Amino acid sequence: MTNLDEIIKSRRDTRHFTNDAVPDAVIEKALEAGHWAPSVGLTEATKYYLIKSAEIKKAVKELFLEYDKKAAACTDDELQKVQYQNLKLEAIEEAPLGLVICYDRSVLNHFTIGTVGSNEAIKFSAVCAAQNIWLSLTEQGYSMGWVSILNYYQFKKILGLPEHIEPLGYFCVGKPATNYENQPMLQQLNWKQKSEAPFVSEIRQLHSIATKELEEDVVRTNKVDFSLKALEDKINKKTKPIGSLGVLEKIAKQIGTVFQTLEPKISNPNIVVFAADHGIAQHGVSAYPQDVTRQMLTNFLEGGAAINVFCKQNKIALSVVDAGVNYDFPSNTTLISAKIDKGTHSFLSGPAMSKAQVELCFSKGSEIVAAIAKQGSNCIGFGEMGIGNTATASVLMSVLCNFSIEDCVGRGTGVDDEKLQFKIDILKKAIENYHGSKDLESYLTYFGGFEILQMAGGMLEAYRQNMIFLVDGFICSVAFLIAFKKNPAIMNNAIFSHQSAEKPHKKLLDYLGVSAVLQLDLRLGEGTGCALVFPIIESAVAFLNEMASFESAGVSEK
């Protein structure tokens, strides 16, 4: 077969193979074709691993079968489930050769042409290589089948791939046993018909990212049936000395004022954990490697983290957001995908993100909270996860509050004295290297984190939705600081759940002029402080609604 059009149209995602071995010359020629595929910035980040071991093939097949069951459960109805189960989706053990096509993320540790706009570019190069390999095999009378229904984390483990090597999937290679009647297999089996022509449309109009206009700093007008004096009188006339319930009275007054009612109720409470990776982490500012972000998100999804335990204990819904983790998570999870990019760039010598990404962060955070409010929630807590994000938060606090970086740096994940000084030195150098404007947007673009800015956008939306929102520890308080600088009126709706063990948190709370409800020496993040303070929120509402007054109980006020 020599005609290019014929080769392209004959390329099949093959699932049926003969027992014929793949000659070394065939695979060498195919991989050579992959090597000469387009590669962004000539990164040569694509790597190939050959699999001939029956033991490894069996282990990969078991991984497939585990996720194949999950895929079957995601079908729309019983008929579709039966149709799905009748499909042959792999030939892992039957194919004479296995090929794992990967891309090497470590090339991103150095400047690489073509990757500044998107780290995904190196993956795109690997996909181009896969297509070239497919076409070369087809031209030689062989073929390949792509198996992607796998737990990629376990897949990497059984292959012994290092953290920075990411597989596109497992590819079965061999001589095809059928040509599927010269059409894609799924089309032949009537699963889906391939369209006759590709979608093509010319874009003629310039578009920009739409952002919600920020509300003015205005005091909300009271509704006709509500007055602040009536709320204060109700609190003061409970069967207790005035002020004797301390912070509970303050919280009850705040919630009643926000909801504009003398009988407030908390509905469908939800804690949202935003997660992302940070380029600054590659400089060793954390006690943990960056991959812990991905590992912890998996832990959240499997229900094993502290925030899962506390949310379950207090009957709080938990939402987990991928704001920019350096990993591709399976689509069949409960994870909310709001990925801006696979982590920010290091701000040691350049901006962490683009201005467009800053706007997108605020938009995404807003959309997530608006969707939760639409489900009937009027109380939301904000949490975070991201190796390196205390470093990002520290720098943002320093530049936005005009504090020295020494006053803004804590131990984060628990670094020792030597590492703490190293962290301070790195962050001080990053600030010294900044020569941009001193306005909020410029600082956020240069030093921001995807999850921090999405939380800020979410807090602004919580205010717009008239929700009570709970602020967790240090990093979430920095997100609040950003939102507060955009709209100071959000202070009316915020409850600061706890004062973190992170040294700069107290200084930040003092700067904002607020006090936290709890002081438990927490420094875990995840929104754990929000979950722990929630029973106190409920107690404030309960006493306001259910506690007897002096008059109803027949008790003398004095």
**Residue 286 in contact with residue 412, Cβ under 8 Å?**
yes
Cβ-proximal residues to 196 (8 Å cutoff; 6+ apart), any chain: none
Phi-psi region of 513 (alpha: psi -120 to 50; beta: other; left: phi over 0): left
Q: Rounded to whole angstroms, how far apart are CA atoms 65 and 90?
A: 10
Query: If you count them, how many residues does the chain have?
Result: 558
Chain CA centroid to CA 464, Å = 23
Q: Tokens for 186, please give them.
A: 């799924």
3-class secondary-structure state, position 385: strand
Residue 302: Cβ within 10 Å count: 10
**Residue 275 in contact with residue 294, Cβ under 8 Å?**
no
Q: Rounded to whole angstroms, how far apart are CA atoms 386 and 138?
A: 44
Which of the residues 166, 249, 451, 526 is marked catalytic? 526
Cβ-proximal residues to 292 (8 Å cutoff; 6+ apart), any chain: 387
3-class secondary-structure state, position 523: coil
163 annotated active-site: no
Q: Rounded to whole angstroms, how far apart are CA atoms 64 and 92?
A: 9
3-class secondary-structure state, position 423: helix
Phi-psi region of 182 (alpha: psi -120 to 50; beta: other; left: phi over 0): left
Q: Rounded to whole angstroms, how far apart are CA atoms 515 and 495?
A: 9
Strand 143-147 relative to strand 165-174: parallel, antiparallel, unpaired?
antiparallel
**Residue 398 in contact with residue 404, Cβ under 8 Å?**
yes
DSSP lists the bridge partners of residue 295 as none
Burial class of residue 133 in the structure, from the number of CB atoms within 10 Å of its CB (0-12 exposed, 13-18 middle, 19+ buried)? buried
Dihedral, CA atoms, 392, 394, 399, 400, nearest 10 degrees?
Answer: 100
Burial class of residue 346 in the structure, from the number of CB atoms within 10 Å of its CB (0-12 exposed, 13-18 middle, 19+ buried)? buried
Q: Which amino acids are annotated catalytic?
A: 526
